[in-house]
Amino acid sequence: MAAFLDVAGAEKRFGSTTVLGGVDLAVARGEFISLLGPSGCGKTTLLRMVAGLLAPDRGRIVLDGRDLTTTPPHRRDVSVVFQSYALFPHLTVAENVAFGLKARRRPAAEVAATVARFLGLVQMAGFADRPIRALSGGQQQRVAVARALAVQPKVMLLDEPFSALDRKLRETMQIDLKRLLRELGTTSVFVTHDQDEALTMSDRIAVMNRGAIEQFADPVTIYRRPATAFALGFVGLSSRFDGTVTASEGGIITVATPAGSLRAPGRFLPGSPVVLGIRPERMALGDGADGPDRNGLDATLVEVAFQGARAHLYLAVGGGTVVTVEAPEVPAGAAPGAPVRLSFAVADMLAYPADPDPALLAAAA
């Protein structure tokens, strides 16, 4: 598939800090992708570059076959929904939505029709003549989306547009926005530090860390097969074991960890420092009968977190490591201090080379 939006080798430094270190990103027409990462990972810098609000030190940005690298923002056909919405406070709702159309000198009748259409699409038709300050956060967000979409941009950029909304409203708005963008076929780049948001909305997710994209894949792959220890730690819950490979045979490594000896799929030389991970729903409380394809650990129950549809159990294993197990419900007789046996499949383990960088360890923790 030919890339509709193609960022190649984008690099940005501020002084001696590299904010973005030669990032490549290819987005297909009509695709919804997320840039997901912690603050300072370069995701907003990348978004501002695509919008033309920031010039890359090196690299190219091509949109629909046109090189935009040095094009000013107002000639790019790239809309932005800002985190703070950046609605014009001196204009009404309808005037805000009309702003981009008027800037493009569209005829008045067309402006009015387009404004009405997009206010309708975001369910704000009855608010056309209201001043901005009379709107709630959710309503302002809808107006910001309508304003950005009304110019029918080639790419829509969204900079954490949900972060100011409360959780319940956020989930409704996410679904609404995703459906709207799919119906309009708008290519979208969404910046977020919220992994749930990225998993819910995206066709593909670019997991970013320290100015680089660590993995760019669909949400299922990102969750099931994280490419790096950082991606594993940042997306979804996981338990983590640091250790050293003691044996490697037939694609299965045996790793000595403070919690005990564990096996995992992987090809590492004996003696290599590695990081092992596993998702909470892949672990279960066992009966001690571990098969050859399962790992087993003795553990002590530390805390139970009831979450409605499921429960999270926090268990202490050897070496001070605490692991998280997801259970369909709180087990009978579960009390802090109770000894339990953990069992999990070797095939469900994920293994990564240990990264010596303490910043990464902190980010993944």
Chain residues binding other proteins by CB under 8 A are: 51-53, 72-80, 82, 84, 86-90, 99-100, 102-104, 131, 147-148, 151, 157
Distance CA 183, CA 30 (A): 10
> Which residue lies nearer to other proteins by CB, 51 or 301?
51
Per-residue CA distances from 87 to 1, 30, 181 (Å): 36, 26, 20
What's the min distance (Å) between Cβ of 3 and other proteins?
A: 21
Smallest distance from other proteins to CB 257, Å: 48
Q: Taking the complex as a whole, how short is the minimal distance between the CB of residue 134 and other proteins, in angstroms?
A: 11
Quick count: other Cβ atoms within 10 Å of Cβ 136? 10
Q: How far apart are CA 108 and CA 262, in angstroms?
A: 69
H or E element that contains 347: none
> Smallest distance, Å, CB 117 to other proteins?
17
The smaller minimum CB distance to other proteins, of residues 61 and 297, is found at: 61
CA distance 291 to 298: 15
- Rounded to a whole number of angstroms, the minimum distance from the CB of residue 189 to other proteins is 13
Alpha carbon separation from 365 to 223, 227, 238 (Å, rounded): 17, 17, 9
Nearer to other proteins, 134 or 359 (CB): 134
> Which H helix or E strand runs over 219?
helix 219-224
Q: Which is nearer to other proteins, 82 or 314 (CB)?
A: 82
Nearer to other proteins, 157 or 180 (CB): 157
Contact 81, 118 (CB under 8 A): no
Q: Which CB, 48 or 282, lies closer to other proteins?
A: 48
In the complex, least distance from residue 279 CB atom to other proteins, rounded to whole angstroms: 38
Closest CA to 31 of 191, 222, 178, 226: 178
